Amino acid sequence: MARRKKIYEGKAKILYEGPEPGTIVQYFKDDATAFNAEKKDVIDGKGVLNNRLSEFFMTGLNQIGVPTHFIRRLNMREQLVRSCEIVPLEVIVRNYAAGSMSKRLGIAEGTQLPRPIVEYCYKDDALGDPLVTEEHIAAFGWASQQDMDDILSLALRVNDFLSGMMLAVGIRLVDFKIEIGRVYEGDFQRLIIADEISPDSCRLWDIESGQKLDKDVFRRDLGSLTDAYSEVARRLGVLPKSNVTKPTLIN
């Protein structure tokens, strides 16, 4: 069998050339990193859980007309996605203060924000993904004004969708990060949600107890990351009941 071509290897995923033009295979690794890869570990089963959870969220978004790169899941760790040009921004939506915003502005973690706040960071590992303004984005040509209008609208639609879905299972969506891709259709370009949506890129707190069910469990050494992610998957009905605490690891 011919070896497939690796296109890119990141901290949590590997991208391979897909079987048809315009497609990519996205492989979810078990590697966990935090603080710009200063803290690293391998967490058995994390990739399997994130593959399933990202499939679940992206499928739901596609169904309500929010375009994503997701085409279909291929196996435990891989999904087929649409190839796209990644806009070099991390788009963060916050409903409650936490993490870097709490630190930057001195607002206690968990404080409800007056309305969802959208922030943009320039995607550059060497610089630690610095926060930027729309002035930087326009001046350096990372996205046009039309792109920014579309990105804001996509980000807020994802926020409404995910917040409602989480609320229904007793989880507060504190904040999340998404990435945006450009696809070209004839003379037109369209923006779609790319990368992944998973507990690696969201802050998820149990509404009753405040327990953290996201990557902060790893960042702050709060216990088992796979137990936390499995709990999210179980509540959403993503994992079959018999498979709840430990996903079967095939590859």
The residues that touch ligand 5GP, with contacts defined as CB under 6 A, are 90, 92, 98-101, 129, 175-177, 200-203, 215
Closest to ligand 5GP by CB, 30 vs 129, is: 129
CB 98 within 8 A of CB 110: yes
| Smallest distance, ligand 5GP to C-beta of residue 184, A | 26
Closest to ligand 5GP by CB, 19 vs 128, is: 128
Closest to ligand 5GP by CB, 88 vs 99, is: 99
Q: How far is CA 151 from CA 28, 121, 182, 240, in A?
A: 25, 13, 11, 34
| Smallest distance, ligand 5GP to C-beta of residue 20, A | 28
| Smallest distance, ligand 5GP to C-beta of residue 90, A | 5
Closest to ligand 5GP by CB, 78 vs 175, is: 175
Closest to ligand 5GP by CB, 100 vs 243, is: 100
| Smallest distance, ligand 5GP to C-beta of residue 79, A | 16
| Smallest distance, ligand 5GP to C-beta of residue 191, A | 19
- What residue number has its CB nearest to ligand 5GP? 99
